Each structure stands twice: as C-alpha cells, then as structure tokens.
C-alpha cells in the first residue's frame, strides 16, 4: 500500500532537508541513464525526483533505499540538481517522521552507531585495541597529525591491516602523530546519508568537541567517507580542520623521500576509484601516482575508471543492507578485475574493502585475486 503524506508537506520537508535544487530538474532523464542500478535492475531516479517535485512520493517503495550516493548522476545532471540531497531528505522524512518502515538492517546499524559510536556494535573502550601492540601514542596538544582510522579498520578484523600499515609507514617516516582512540566516534557519514540527521549531528558535535579540546589541526584519514564528512560537512557545524586522505599523504611522503621502497612488488594491480575520493572530491591522481611509485608494480586500468568508475555499492548505508546476488556492483567490478588478469584489486576506502572482500567469496574465481588498500601495498614494499 502506498504511504502518501500531503504533497505540500512532502515538498516542504524535502526542500527544508536540503532538496532545494529539486525545482531545477527539467526531467531530461540523464540521471537514470547513468545510474549504475540500471546495469543490474531497473531504477528510475528521474522518476523519484519527479515524484518529489509533485509531492507524490511512495514512501513504502524500496527504491528510496537503493541510492548508494555514488554521485554519478549528480556529475551528469545538466541542471546541477543535488540528487543525493533529495534522496537524503526523503529518507529523513521516513526516519524522523515515521511515515513508512525503515529497513531492519539500517535501523539496527543506526541504533548501533547511536549507542556505541560505531556501526559494528563494538565497545567504545575497545576503539584503540587495534593499536595495542604498536608504537602509537595518544594524541596530545602540539602533536602534528591526528590519525583517524574509521570504525572499520578500528574494529573489523579483515580491515585492521589498513590502520596497522598506516602506523608502520608513519613510524618509518618519523611522523609526529597520535590517535584519539576512545575519545573519537564514527564520522557519521553513512547514518546521515541513510536519513538519520539527528544521530549524525550528535556524532559531528562530539567529534568536533574532541578534536577542538585536544588541539587537533590536521587529520589523516583512511576513509574517503570520513574525508568528505570532516572536510565538506563538519564546517557547517563549526568544525574546521585540515583533512588529508592517506593516498594524498603517502604521495607527500614518497615525493619528500621520507619513505624509501626496499622491495619490488611484482604484481599486476588494478585500482578501483572510491566514489567519495573520486567523484565527490576529485582525487584521482594521487592513489595512482603512489601505486606507480612502488617498484615492480604494474598498474592496469579497469574498463571504467576515474570519473566513470563503477561504485562498489556500499555508500549511503547500503553496506549494511543485503543486496541480491546478481545486483551487486562490487561483484561486477571484481569480475572485471579478474578478467584483466589482475592479481590485486587495490582500494583506498574501508567500505570498498568490505564490499570487495564479500565479493571474493561469491564471485567465480574471487579468491584468485587479493583485495588490498593502497596503504597496505606501500607498507609491504618499504
């Protein structure tokens, strides 16, 4: 049954929640033509935008939860419609006005973030356990760099290697850095993009307070989602910090000869652009330059790359939801990499890593290829 709320109210709520550019849409349909969902099933994002303009949204439709916030459609829209803001607003109407059911997986993950400060429901006091046996000091006023690993490398066993490799490199380069550990929480990107604005604001305020009280000026992040949130969204809440992604920082260290490679990595590697590094923040060259600086490594491009790169499917809270076999973008991407004869699929995002590691288990010959973060590859070669 369609869950409709009065049309003027829908339009007002969407506009108030950031859907102002809705008015600009002239229904050309380019967004639908470019949305990756149409590679695996039909999904009309143009239709969704049109329904929102008319105030006739079917809030029970599962289509509302499909958008992975990959930014492909936004980049192509000739009218500059911020389609992700519209989807975020529609989700917010459901989450905060209760007009329809929120998918169970999203509801549970948002609750975990709200209660424990991370989507994995791990204890806050264990947030720095990944660094227990490493040479890592707590961040104190005057430390040059804060390393913020993201919830996944902090807690998820399959991803801790990203944080541990980062620390290995920072120590090798004698960087003055520290971590906030139990004082930090999830950046809040995925809860915000899945409609939980209230939880997001609480997380943003808490992190901004922790950064400010501890005298943080420069933050190194492993996740493009943390990067985008700290750099482009926290300033709206009074948080202004210099943010640098690991691939940008690694390139700095390579160029300044602060790390030297001691080993060859004779492997054929493909790099999958993460949406929040590439299309959201135009960082395409740095990860490639870092990979190409590793002796012996052969970098091969996937069929679609840089601005055209296919999303892994995990953004916008999709990482928490079940996606049917045959509809997973990450499976398609892994198959492309295997087809190219790549031995390693390199990522620069913990969300991509989680998605691709799942694909390794389901895609034919999935285990024939390794999934590694750029940071891990650099660490292996120094």
**Residues near 46 by beta carbon (within 8 Å), at least 6 away in sequence:** 25, 27, 28, 29, 31, 32
State the nearest-atom distance from the C-beta of 96 to ligand SF4, in Å.
21
Closest Cα partner for 349 from 226, 232, 224, 247? 224
State the nearest-atom distance from the C-beta of 155 to ligand SF4, in Å.
27
Q: Which is nearer to ligand SF4, 58 or 380 (CB)?
A: 58
Strands 177-178 and 344-347 come out as: unpaired
State the nearest-atom distance from the C-beta of 84 to ligand SF4, in Å.
5
Footprint on residues 74-133 left by ligand SF4 (CB under 6 A) = 77-79, 81, 83-84
Answer for which of 1, 6, 8, 26 binds ligand SF4 (CB under 6 A) is 26
State the nearest-atom distance from the C-beta of 133 to ligand SF4, in Å.
40
243 binds ligand SF4 (CB under 6 A): no
352 binds ligand SF4 (CB under 6 A): no
State the nearest-atom distance from the C-beta of 33 to ligand SF4, in Å.
8
69 binds ligand SF4 (CB under 6 A): yes
Answer for which of 11, 13, 49, 374 binds ligand SF4 (CB under 6 A) is 49
- Cα 148 to Cα 131: distance, rounded to the nearest angstrom: 12
Task: Tell me how far the alpha carbon of residue 373 is from its chain's centroid.
Answer: 14
182 binds ligand SF4 (CB under 6 A): no
368 binds ligand SF4 (CB under 6 A): no
State the nearest-atom distance from the C-beta of 58 to ligand SF4, in Å.
16
29 binds ligand SF4 (CB under 6 A): yes
Q: Which is nearer to ligand SF4, 88 or 127 (CB)?
A: 88
**Residues near 129 by beta carbon (within 8 Å), at least 6 away in sequence:** none
Pick the piece of the chain touching ligand SF4 (CB under 6 A) from 22-30, 89-97, 161-169, 335-343.
Answer: 22-30
State the nearest-atom distance from the C-beta of 17 to ligand SF4, in Å.
16
The SS3 assignment for 310 reads coil
31 binds ligand SF4 (CB under 6 A): yes
45 binds ligand SF4 (CB under 6 A): yes
Answer for which of 4, 5, 15, 30 binds ligand SF4 (CB under 6 A) is 30
HSE-up (13 A, CA, CB side) for residue 312: 34
DSSP alpha helix (H) spans, 281-371: 285-292, 329-339, 350-362
Residue 27 burial (CB count, 10 A) = 12
State the nearest-atom distance from the C-beta of 183 to ligand SF4, in Å.
33
355 binds ligand SF4 (CB under 6 A): no
Answer for which of 11, 17, 73, 355 binds ligand SF4 (CB under 6 A) is 73
Rounded to 10°, the helix 329-339/350-362 angle is: 70
Answer for which of 3, 12, 27, 365 binds ligand SF4 (CB under 6 A) is 27
198 token code pair: 């209230």
Dihedral (CA of 345, 351, 355, 360) sign: positive
Q: Which is nearer to ligand SF4, 57 or 244 (CB)?
A: 57
CA angle 247, 231, 186 (to 5 degrees): 85
DSSP 102-169: PPHHHHHHHHHHHHHSSTT---GGGTTGGGTTS--PBP-TT-SEEEE--HHHHH-TTTHHHHHHHHHH
State the nearest-atom distance from the C-beta of 205 to ligand SF4, in Å.
27
* Burial per residue of 8-24, b for 16 or more beta-carbon CB atoms within 10 angstroms, e otherwise: eebbebbbebbbebbee
Q: Which is nearer to ligand SF4, 28 or 134 (CB)?
A: 28
Binding site for ligand SF4 (CB under 6 A): 25-31, 34-35, 37, 45-46, 49, 67-73, 77-79, 81, 83-84
């Amino acid at each position: 049954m369609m869950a409709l709320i009065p049309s003027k109210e829908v339009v007002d709520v969407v506009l108030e929640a950031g859907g102002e550019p809705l008015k600009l849409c002239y229904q050309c349909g380019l967004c639908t033509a470019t949305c990756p969902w149409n590679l695996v099933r039909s999904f009309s994002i143009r239709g969704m935008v049109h329904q929102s303009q008319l105030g006739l949204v079917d809030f029970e439709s599962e289509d509302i939860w499909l958008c992975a916030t990959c930014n492909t459609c936004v980049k192509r829209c000739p009218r500059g419609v911020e389609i992700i803001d519209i989807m975020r607003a529609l989700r917010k109407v459901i989450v905060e006005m209760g007009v329809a059911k929120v998918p169970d997986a999203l509801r549970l993950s948002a609750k975990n973030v709200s209660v424990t400060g991370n989507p994995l429901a791990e204890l806050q006091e264990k947030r720095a356990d990944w660094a227990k046996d490493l040479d890592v000091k707590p961040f104190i006023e005057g430390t040059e760099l804060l390393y913020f690993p993201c919830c996944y490398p902090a807690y998820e066993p399959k991803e801790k290697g990203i944080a541990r490799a980062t620390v290995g490199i920072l120590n090798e380069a004698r960087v003055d850095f520290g971590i906030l550990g139990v004082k930090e929480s999830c950046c809040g990107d995925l809860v915000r993009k899945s409609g939980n604005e209230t939880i997001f604001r609480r997380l943003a305020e808490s992190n901004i307070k922790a950064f400010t009280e501890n005298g943080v000026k420069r933050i190194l992040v492993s996740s493009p989602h943390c990067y985008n949130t700290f750099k482009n969204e926290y300033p709206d809440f009074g948080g202004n910090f210099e943010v640098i992604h690991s691939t940008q920082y690694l390139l700095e260290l390579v160029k300044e000869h602060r790390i030297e490679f001691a080993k060859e990595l004779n492997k054929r590697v493909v790099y999958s652009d993460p949406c929040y590094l590439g299309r959201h923040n135009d960082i395409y060259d740095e990860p490639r330059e870092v990979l190409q600086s590793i002796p012996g490594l052969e970098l091969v491009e996937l069929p679609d790359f840089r601005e055209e790169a296919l999303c892994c499917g995990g953004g916008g809270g999709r990482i928490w939801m079940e996606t049917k076999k045959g509809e997973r973008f990450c499976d398609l991407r892994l198959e492309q990499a295997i087809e190219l004869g790549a031995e390693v699929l390199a990522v620069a995002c913990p969300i991509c890593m989680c998605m691709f590691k799942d694909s390794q288990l389901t895609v034919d010959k999935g285990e024939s290829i390794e999934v590694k973060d750029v940071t891990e590859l650099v660490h292996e070669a120094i």
